[in-house]
Amino acid sequence: MTGRSSHNEQALDALQSNLSHFFRDASLLRQALTHPSAAAEDGQGRLMSYERLEFLGDAVLHFHIAELLYDLFPREDEGVLSRLRAYWASEGVQAETARSLGVDGCIRLGAGESRDGGARKDRIVASALEALFGALYLDGGQRACTRLVKALWREPIRRRGLEVLAADAKTALQELRQRRGQTLPEYKTAPSGERFESSVCLDGKPVGQGEGPTRKAAEQAAARAALAALA
């Protein structure tokens, strides 16, 4: 997205159609799609990039996903719900969701970031999606956010159920630590007969142990044990 060409206006219209919300304040939409590198090139500074809206949208998105999980899993405790939220609000899921909406084709990048393929980076695309939720909350209120989260997440969550907890516990644990501003997990894994045993350490202390037929399976088991211990 560079300037106000008809192609870009069409992309923005398509995005808003996918969001089922056309912004009354178009400046919020544009800010949500402006990477800090583009704001800097415009001489506007980081405050005019998506970062402030991303801060708000992160909280908005996590709240509405938590609300959806609370309704869909009435028999699960706080620990399971927290792990489910960690997965469904993860960077990878957000980036995939953003691309399904066409967000990646609307992000305005600085020249250097564009050359580096910024629109293909999960981190940037996920950040823009969070910023869009911040903008959506300011422009359309909580009802618009609730409607969009249900449209995007309800069916995938219902269809996959609890299987995501076993799918990638390592990612869930890492992202939980990142959100809390803590050090990343460290794994100590070694063969044990025909299997592998793994221990995951947080801040230098072992928190979860696991075993499996492969190194990856053992580390996933250790990560699941750590998540359960942190719940």
Cα–Cα distance for residue pair 227/177, rounded to 1 Å: 10
Tell me, what CATH number does 193's domain have? 3.30.160.20
Which pLDDT tens digit goes with each residue over 8-57?
888 999 999 999 999 999 999 999 999 999 998 888 877 889 999 999 99
* % the chain with pLDDT above 70: 96
Q: How far apart are CA 211 and CA 216, in angstroms?
A: 9
My answer on whether 79 and 141 are in the same domain is yes
User: Phi-psi bin for 182: left (phi > 0), alpha (psi -120 to 50), beta?
Assistant: beta
**DSSP per-residue letters across 170-183:** HHHHHHHHHHTT-P
Residue type, 77: D
In a domain, 157, yes or no: yes
Q: State the CB neighbour count (10 A cutoff) for residue 146.
A: 15
Q: Are residues 88 and 113 in the same domain?
A: yes
pLDDT digit string (tens) for 80-132?
A: 898 899 889 988 899 999 999 999 999 999 998 888 888 888 989 999 999 99
Asked if 203 is an active-site residue, the reply is no
> Which of 51, 54, 104, 130 does the annotation list as catalytic?
130
Selected catalytic residue, list 51, 54, 58, 113: 58
Least confident among 29-33, 99-103, 167-171, 197-201: 167-171
- Beta-carbon contacts of residue 215 (< 8 Å; ≥ 6 apart): 189, 196, 198
What's the pLDDT at 4?
32
- Give the side-chain half-sphere CA count within 13 A for 85: 24
What does pLDDT average to over the chain? 90
Same domain, 159 and 181: no
Q: For the chain, how many structural domains are there in total?
A: 2
User: What radius of gyration, in Å, describes the C-alpha atoms of the chain?
Assistant: 20
Residues 21 and 56 in one domain: yes
Q: What is the mean pLDDT of residues 137-163?
A: 95
Band (174; pLDDT cuts 50, 70, 90): confident
Segments forming the whole domain that contains residue 207? 172-230
- Are residues 182 and 159 part of one domain? no
To the query of whether residue 130 is one of the catalytic residues in this protein, the response is yes
pTM: 0.73
